Every structure is written in C-alpha cells, then in structure tokens.
Structure 1
C-alpha cells in the first residue's frame, strides 16, 4: 500500500537538498574531530555532541535523512 507520508528527498526544495548534501559530506570530519576532542578532554557536552553527530552519520548512511 502506498503511504503518502513516506520521505522522498526529491520533494524538498533545491536549496534544502544542497544544504542536506553539504551536511552529509561534512558530518564525518566533524565527528572525527569531535571524537579526538572528547578523548583529550571529555565533558558532558562533548559526549552528547559526539552522540548526536554519530547518530546523524548513521542516519545518512541508512538514507533516513
């Protein structure tokens, strides 16, 4: 059965697609830098930010975003 509320990335406006694609390419280097920063000086904020970045990266890998 067709669900009309499924996510379709081509429904987005072109500028939003460019922003999402740019974020997709930049998320891995930012997550690696955040991992190094968290290893050097772990704070609660750094751990939470790293968890958010890793979850975003996994969502991009699974094509959920």
Structure 2
C-alpha cells in the first residue's frame, strides 16, 4: 500500500517550490502551447506534454 506524503513533514524549501511552481506552470504551459502551434517540433511536443503532466500532478497534489 502506498503511503500518502504528509505536507507537514516537508521542508520549507519544498513547500515554497510547490507554491512557486503552481503559480508559474500555467503561463509557461500556455506559452509553450502557442510556440508549439507556431513552430511544431518533436522537442516542443515532449516539453508541452511534460508541462501538462506536471501541472496536472501539482493540481491533483500527486507531488
């Protein structure tokens, strides 16, 4: 059985990183989406997929 990570046990630096990443992930993802639509390349598609997965993971509190 997988144990849920307790936010109270995290260091303050990790908590701060999660807050900052949560604020910046949406604008960076939107920018990357526009860039991918204008100049599509395999690297852009992979980066966009990673950003979307990171955004969903932060939103669903998987990280």
Same-fold call, TM cutoff 0.5: yes
Structure with the greater alpha carbon radius of gyration: 1
Q: How many residues are treated as equivalent by the alignment?
A: 63
Instruction: Kindly report which structure 2 residues correspond to 1:20-59, keeping only aligned pairs within 5 A, or say none.
Output: 20-59=18-57
Q: Which runs of 4+ in 1 moved over 3 A?
A: none
Unaligned 5+ segments in structure 1 are none
Alpha carbons 2:29, 2:51 under 8 Å: kept: yes
Length-normalised TM-score, structure 2: 0.88
**CA RMSD after TM alignment:** 1.5
Unaligned 5+ segments in structure 2 are none
Length-normalised TM-score, structure 1: 0.86
